[in-house]
Amino acid sequence: MSAIELSNISKQWGDTTAVDNISFTVDEGTFAVLLGPSGCGKSTSLRMISGLEDISAGQLLIGGSDMTSASPADRNLSMVFQNYALFPHLNVEENILFGLKVRKVPSHIQSQRLAKVAEQVGLHNLLDRKPAQLSGGQRQRVALARAIIAENPICLMDEPLSNLDAKLRQIMRVEIRALQQRLKMTVIYVTHDQAEAMSMADKVILMREGKIEQEGTPEELYNKPATTFAASFIGTPPMNLIDPVAGAITTPLLSYKQDDFLIGIRPEDITLSNDTGLDAELISADYLGADTVVTALVDKQEILVRTPGKIRVTEPTPTKLQWKKEAVHTFDRKSGKRNDEIEALNI
Ligand SMILES: Nc1ncnc2c1ncn2[C@@H]1O[C@H](COP(=O)(O)OP(=O)(O)OP(=O)(O)O)[C@@H](O)[C@H]1O
């Protein structure tokens, strides 16, 4: 039985359809990420699961029970928000215990759980502090502690790391994932950051304009993007989408019906060569430390190549691009859908 099951869920505001007939399941103990660009309906979907927003159509099951119209309190979910929603006048301990006090949980149980949770999230030395006396990461931990202490099996998180700097975000990603695995929580986590989704998720649900574009493991989305949208949303830099018949690309990249297809090749799957390959011109380089992302021009199409070490490009430099046949993805030009029937050729 799935922990959460959405069937044909929609959200309508007047003429606006924010969420359009989506269905997915999240198994117990799974870390699921709702991923997609701004405005695609991630937060609305999460808020419908939490009960903070009504469901316009469809059915929501939590632990097998119909919760489509249940009140938020009856759903037994915890929630962590982007702004943490801490009470400024309460100290860390009072913030963490707030929900248990409201529910009149006996005080000896409150103390036991507080000691355990404060240790788990590393707040045991800061229980007397007010939120204003904490760093961003510490505030985030208080919000997490408050969600965990409720001991609800399911936790919903809406962009919980977006107020933190890049370094702390990376640390907290690892912490949240480790905590989720240790406590065997079921998590649904909203983000627009594909790197966050790739590093944390068991299952990614990629949304676009209120619909689900693709769902699967991070590896599935990376290795077999179902559409050009998924291909260009996952990966940094994203997959190159190349028009094989534009301008001077006369090399036969595809075996037939070339003009119906686009080919996709990830920057990390292309190598630069002096001998053989597709003629190109290097026009710029972006040095990242361990590697360099160079921009190569083939006719008028820019193709990004991730190459090890440091490369400098001071003037347009001729080169050749090579890739393996297995690295080529093919997509229908009109629908944008992946089509593995098309045979790509080696370069
Ligand atoms: N209360 C509302 N009334 C009308 N439209 C709304 C309301 N809330 C959200 N929307 C619209 O619904 C769509 C989805 O919004 P939602 O906040 O779910 O997107 P999101 O993917 O979470 O975006 P972001 O990453 O920017 O938070 C957007 O077009 C938004 O403008």
Residues 294 and 307: their CA atoms lie apart, in Å, by 7
Q: What is the pLDDT of residue 259?
A: 63
When pLDDT is averaged across residues 290-301 and rounded to a whole number, the result is 90
pLDDT, tens digit (0-9, with 9 covering 90-100), for 177-203? 998 998 899 999 999 999 999 999 999
Cβ–ligand 1 distance for 192 under 6 Å, the answer: yes
Residues spanned by CATH 2.40.50.140 within the chain?
A: 238-332
Residue 297 has pLDDT above 50, yes or no: yes
Measured by CA distance, the residue closest to atom 16 of ligand 1 is 41
**Measured in whole angstroms, how far is the alpha carbon of residue 158 from the centre of its chain?**
11
Q: What is the pLDDT of residue 254?
A: 46
Q: What is the pLDDT of residue 257?
A: 46
pLDDT, tens digit (0-9, with 9 covering 90-100), for 276-286? 888 899 999 99
- Strand, helix or coil for residue 147: helix
Per-residue confidence band for 263, with pLDDT thresholds at 50, 70 and 90: confident
Q: What is the pLDDT of residue 255?
A: 44
Measured by CA distance, the residue closest to atom 31 of ligand 1 is 39
From the candidate CATH numbers 3.40.50.720, 3.30.230.10, 3.40.50.450, 3.40.50.300, the one assigned to the domain spanning 2-228 = 3.40.50.300
Residues 42 and 206: their CA atoms lie apart, in Å, by 9
Q: Which amino acid would we find at residue 241?
A: L
Higher pLDDT, 60 or 323: 60
From the candidate CATH numbers 1.25.40.10, 3.30.470.20, 3.20.20.70, 2.40.50.140, the one assigned to the domain spanning 238-332 = 2.40.50.140
Cβ–ligand 1 distance for 322 under 6 Å, the answer: no
Per-residue confidence band for 344, with pLDDT thresholds at 50, 70 and 90: low
Per-residue confidence band for 171, with pLDDT thresholds at 50, 70 and 90: confident
Residues spanned by CATH 3.40.50.300 within the chain?
A: 2-228
Residue 338 has pLDDT above 90, yes or no: yes
Cβ–ligand 1 distance for 39 under 6 Å, the answer: yes
Residues 187 and 180: their CA atoms lie apart, in Å, by 7
User: Own/partner pairs for 244-247, CB < 8 Å, 24+ apart?
Assistant: 246/299, 246/300, 246/301, 247/299, 247/300, 247/301
How many CB atoms are located within 10 Å of the residue 197 CB? Answer: 26
Q: Tell how far the Cα of 7 is from the centroid of ligand 1, in angstroms.
A: 20
Cβ–ligand 1 distance for 125 under 6 Å, the answer: no
Maximum Cα interatomic distance, the chain, rounded to a whole number of Å:
76
Summary mean pLDDT of the chain: 89
pLDDT, tens digit (0-9, with 9 covering 90-100), for 63-90? 999 999 999 989 989 988 877 788 999 9
Residues 293 and 280: their CA atoms lie apart, in Å, by 15
Residue 249 has pLDDT above 70, yes or no: no
